[in-house]
Structure formats: C-alpha cells, structure tokens
Amino acid sequence: MNDRDKLIGAARALLMEDGYAAVTREAAAVRAGLDPVVAAPAFGSNADLVLAALNAHWAEVKAFFEGAFSRRLPPLERLRRFFEGTQTVQDGAWSKTGCVVGCLLLRTGSSVPRSETRLRARVTECFGEFQGYVESALRDAQEQGLIRRGDVPTMAWTLIHYVEGALGMARIQNDTKSLKGMMERSLEFLGATPETLAR
C-alpha cells in the first residue's frame, strides 16, 4: 500500500470515529504512521483528503449494494440482505472501535461548511445511487404484489430517511440494539408482512 492509500485509509477511519472536523492531512498522516510532510503533496487540502476517503468508502458500499440488491434475487430478499448487512457493519465497527459509526455519507454531508460544495455534491450523488437501488427493489416488489401501491421514488426516499434516522440515533446512543427490527418496521411501512419474504 502506497502512502496515498495509507492516508486515505487513515482519513476514513477518522471520519468513522470522530467525524469531518477530525480529518486533517496532519492527523491522517499521524494515524497512518507517516511523516506529516508527506500529506501536503498528496492532497492539496483537507477537503481533498475527505473527498478521497468518501470515494473509497462509497466504492466498498456500492460493491455491497451490487450484491445485496442484485435483480437475480427476489425484491424483498434484497431489502433483507441490505438490512442484515447494515446491522453486521455497525456491529463490527462497534466491536472494533467501541463506537457506532452510523452512516458516513450523512455524517459528512451534514457536517461540511456551505462553502464545500464538492463534498456536498458528492454525498448527494451517492445518496441518489443509493435511492436507485432501493427504488428497483420496491418497483419489482410492487409488480409482484408483495407491497402496497404508491409512488416508488417517494416510498424509497422515505425508507432511506428512516434508515438514516435509525443509524443516527444508534450513533448518538452508541448502541446497535436499536437497529434490530429495521426490516420488520420497513415491511410494515411498505404494507407487507414477514411472511411475504417466503413468496
């Protein structure tokens, strides 16, 4: 792993544990075990480093989404895999760091100053991709009569709002137990029941 990748990994860890304000080129260098002087040539600003860390994070999240939301799977199975994967990631992070990391996209996007339009735009773009995965699952579920009728984009965005709120509260409380049951509550919102997973 080269120095640039080490800095990105360190910045991502800082984002997860302590948020946007904790990520500086110097702090990332120290976290990575590098001389801080190497950070300036690698990244022109702290925001450049945060953006690189977000992109690395999203690449992993998107790879997970590609598997969880594969159209080869039944639509509600896609949601189940998403929720189970989310729980696993949060539980794993808590076990490793002692803190619930929540959603890195939301935490970063809501923390950056108004002047950081690149970061806000990137977070918005990632959320748009996220919504696309959820919409696809809900649209297929509607077509198969597994969930209630309704405007799919609105339903998908509402579901994402619920997930983001649950992750945010779990981070505030530093407790992943509140995340259990997200699938069941989502099925209730969608007008389905756990039994429909077997269909």
Please state, as a whole number, how many other Cβ atoms lie within 10 Å of the Cβ of residue 7: 23
The pTM of the whole model exceeds 0.85: yes
Q: What DSSP element (H or E) covers 30?
A: helix 25-32
Tokens 């990575």: give the residue: 32
- Rounded Cα distance, 144 and 7, in Å: 47
Report CA 168 to chain centroid distance, whole Å: 11
pLDDT means per 10 residues, the chain with 199 residues, are 93 94 95 87 92 97 97 96 96 92 95 93 98 98 95 98 96 93 94 68
The domains located in the chain, with CATH, are: 1-53 (1.10.10.60), 69-198 (1.10.357.10)
Closest CA to 79 of 167, 156, 150: 156
Closest CA to 86 of 168, 27, 189, 2: 168
